A = this chain, B = another copy of it.
């Protein structure tokens, strides 16, 4: 026997649903009541993903990370084929962050036959990215429903950079009585404020430098609310601030209640509104579409980290 130290942090790599179910059943049978935490991702992990894994590892006896670039949530003209992938690097991040199992299914494992079943979450899916990317949230809801049925986690961790995705999934869980706790986690940012995203790797030097205009614009939200802005005034100011970058091509700038994603009453200063509201932007820099957001309650001072139910 050699005296190499045991490698506690080396996660088990699983590529089939049957093996994954067996591994989770074995953990459950062992009688640990500490729970199964689940972090579903599309890989190309960054520090934002790592923060979800660490949070899950702190809360649960077993943390399962899935890496699956889900084809059905990409539109025909979107970036499915060039979506960044780096399995070797992802496995290092998973190990360093405390994942016990990494689930890496193929598309054929997840969609072996022609899929005819779709989970649709109306209303919450209709605005923002749902309006810009038709069918996107059907694809998200359907794959997350599948993954929840495969993993049967106690808790699932999602980053609030995709705030609408969190709202869609939380609503699906509520409406379909899925026995899982959805845990929203705060956005992580670069030093200049750019929200971490796997898609940031697409940005050239000029776009990377200009992209920080999104978080800079969002950071002025509270100031404008204090100055008496209505919803449409706030949207105009945000749009103007973002348009100060000559390469920023705005997809949407919007303000909606959260997590219902309905439009607040127009024409009144936001400052009096005692409700969680999401200020959300989607902006193209060249070929790369970035999203960012801020969740806050105008009637109360300060932004809310995350409040999805």
Contact = CB atoms under 8 A, between A and B. Distances in A.
A122 B114 CA distance: 11
A119 B121 contact: no
A146 interface: yes
The majority secondary structure among interface residues of chain A is mixed
Interface string A113-124: 101111111111
Nearest to A125: B116
A203 interface: no
Residue of A17, A122, A177 ringed by the most chain B CB atoms within 10 A? A177
Given A118-B120, A120-B118, A179-B21, A113 B149 contact: no
Contact of A177 (B146, B176, B177, B179): B146
A113 B172 CA distance: 12
A299 interface: no
B177 A115 contact: no
A119 B117 contact: yes
B175 A17 contact: no
Given A146-B177, A150-B177, A119 B119 contact: yes
Interface of A: 17, 21, 113, 115-124, 141-142, 145-146, 149-150, 152, 171-172, 174-179
